[in-house]
Chain A
């Protein structure tokens, strides 16, 4: 591919909170400004802007990309908003990458913002309209249903217990205790706490679920030749992948996310990764529910089917384990402002690979990390692979 190499050179984020005083534009501006400051750039250095934000229904504002553009540094610039539901945050990896790789832009600002608290009284109800209006919505479905149905199928197919799955929530909420922007970090949470929390939609209980949140994250991407002048430690985009399955979600094997595997294979091929379990050193898979981390590790080919819970039980996925998974604390711990949570995972890889993750830093010198997100009607997989080595 005659594409230019692309690096991440800066990142910024706001705290993730249940309800932010700031408007979406203000949140976007805080994260964007921090990302530019982190690499010593100004708006004048930015050629184009890539925005990701989830359903307009949360804010009750149509054309949310246009609304957010001022806060995203897009005044008078080419700007493009992308949206693939919960997968959007990590889709911003490929979105920003081909803006730069194509040769169109030397530097782009990539911004993800979500303010879910505006929807009253609870953002959950805004999700009703993702279901088919004729064949499903008259049944008054709840977003929890699709997760509960998928989790139950996953548990049944492989004989996985709720206790096995609860360990993921414990790991991630404990990890988040070391994240300065986290909403639900809890250093002392136990598996019993998760198993004793309120049953929402069995098998899903309160502490199996990430929270409704407000927040913003931004990164700066730059072309080869430019990136090295901005920073002596650019983190390179080594691979990107994305894939969409059918919207007929009930016509699908719910125990295995085939579309995540397709997205991962696309990214691995681009990155030249042949043995992902050896070559991926830090992983940020999408964890809006605890079982999803396991489901996704399997789809990413980082665990055998039905075996991801064993990796968690053995401590392999702990922050100091052989393959750290969600060292940030993930959506379960840091919070889940939908697209911002996805881009937070990409930003976490940037900080981990530069050795700047502070108390969350994984041991050793990780050279390559993978972020993944998921969304729409359980149908999209998005993957971004970052690494310290410039792609050949």
Chain B
């Protein structure tokens, strides 16, 4: 860097500077409410989840079956309307053992997010979900897992109608 510059601008503050009022700041909380429409394809996906079925969609032109379902193929731009029920069984494509929540709180028992390749899809075509009912150390890529559903009366038509995926075999 140009050695002519003796010192660079930018003044570092510490948490203490804020807490003790060494510098002034303004706090505010923004509140925003939204109602997102699910749309055609995800609307059907949520209907399926409520009924205990994971719905994929096939592109007739690309001969490709993907999940989550979508109204059009992003690769060939043709409409996609061949909705197909998939098995609620798949393979762990990848996973993490996560010890912090989305808002950076530490947790002792890890959350186990994973990408799961469902049977009947054209890889790579996984979904993100959580693993459960398994000792974290035993989770591995390639593990066969099955969806654990909420009881039918508790389902709302949401991705959380699947509580988590658990190993097909113990341990």
Q: Which residues of A contact B (CB under 8 A)?
A: 13-22, 27, 30-31, 34, 38, 60, 120-122, 124-125, 128, 132-136, 138-142, 144-145, 148-150, 152-153, 156, 179-181, 199-204, 214-215, 246, 248, 250-254, 351, 356-358, 360
Most interface-central of B15, B23, B114, B124 (chain A CB within 10 A): B124
Contacts of B14 in A (CB 8 A): 19
Taking the closest CB of chain B, its distance from the CB of A377, in whole angstroms, is: 11
Contacts of B7 in A (CB 8 A): 180
A200 vs B96: C-alpha distance when bound (angstroms): 10
20 A-B pairs whose Cβ atoms sit less than 8 Å apart in the complex: A15-B12, A19-B12, A30-B9, A128-B103, A133-B36, A134-B38, A135-B159, A136-B159, A139-B159, A142-B100, A145-B128, A149-B96, A152-B141, A199-B99, A201-B98, A201-B100, A204-B96, A215-B10, A251-B125, A356-B3
A96 vs B1: C-alpha distance when bound (angstroms): 21
A16 vs B11: C-alpha distance when bound (angstroms): 9
Most interface-central of B42, B97, B125 (chain A CB within 10 A): B97
Contacts of A351 in B (CB 8 A): 1-2
> Is B135 located at the chain interface by the 8 A CB criterion?
no
Set B11, B68, B111: member contacting A17, Cβ < 8 A = B11
Find out whether the CB atom of A34 lies under 8 angstroms from the CB atom of B9.
yes
A14 vs B66: C-alpha distance when bound (angstroms): 46
Most interface-central of B38, B111, B115, B141 (chain A CB within 10 A): B115
Taking the closest CB of chain B, its distance from the CB of A362, in whole angstroms, is: 13
Contacts of B62 in A (CB 8 A): none
Q: A17-B11, A21-B11, A148-B96 are in contact. Are A142 and B127 (CB under 8 A)?
A: no
Q: Which residues of B contact A (CB under 8 A)?
A: 1-3, 5, 7-15, 17-18, 23, 27-28, 30, 34, 36, 38, 42, 45-46, 66, 68, 70, 74, 93-104, 110-111, 113-115, 124-130, 141, 158-160
Q: A13-B8, A60-B28, A133-B36 are in contact. Are A150 and B99 (CB under 8 A)?
A: no
Find out whether the CB atom of A145 lies under 8 angstroms from the CB atom of B96.
yes
Contacts A121-B104, A139-B129, A152-B94 supplied; 8 other A-B pairs, CB < 8 Å: A124-B103, A138-B160, A142-B102, A148-B98, A148-B113, A180-B1, A180-B5, A200-B100
Taking the closest CB of chain B, its distance from the CB of A220, in whole angstroms, is: 13
Q: A135-B68, A149-B113 are in contact. Are A246 and B96 (CB under 8 A)?
A: no
Find out whether the CB atom of A139 lies under 8 angstroms from the CB atom of B130.
yes
Set A122, A199, A246: member contacting B103, Cβ < 8 A = A122
Contacts of B124 in A (CB 8 A): 250-254
Q: A16-B10, A60-B28, A254-B115 are in contact. Are A203 and B45 (CB under 8 A)?
A: no
Find out whether the CB atom of B99 lies under 8 angstroms from the CB atom of A149.
no
When C-beta atoms are compared, the residue in chain B nearest to A18 turns out to be B12
Find out whether the CB atom of B68 lies under 8 angstroms from the CB atom of A201.
no
Taking the closest CB of chain A, its distance from the CB of B116, in whole angstroms, is: 8
Find out whether the CB atom of B68 lies under 8 angstroms from the CB atom of A22.
no
When C-beta atoms are compared, the residue in chain B nearest to A145 turns out to be B113
Find out whether the CB atom of B10 lies under 8 angstroms from the CB atom of A153.
no
Contacts of B34 in A (CB 8 A): 133
A202 vs B139: C-alpha distance when bound (angstroms): 12
A31 vs B10: C-alpha distance when bound (angstroms): 10
A134 vs B41: C-alpha distance when bound (angstroms): 12
Find out whether the CB atom of B10 lies under 8 angstroms from the CB atom of A141.
no
Q: A149-B96, A250-B128 are in contact. Are A128 and B10 (CB under 8 A)?
A: no
When C-beta atoms are compared, the residue in chain B nearest to A245 turns out to be B74
Set A21, A30, A31, A253: member contacting B13, Cβ < 8 A = A21
Find out whether the CB atom of B94 lies under 8 angstroms from the CB atom of A135.
no
Find out whether the CB atom of A254 lies under 8 angstroms from the CB atom of B102.
no
A124 vs B5: C-alpha distance when bound (angstroms): 33
Find out whether the CB atom of A38 lies under 8 angstroms from the CB atom of B2.
yes
Contacts of A202 in B (CB 8 A): 96-99, 110
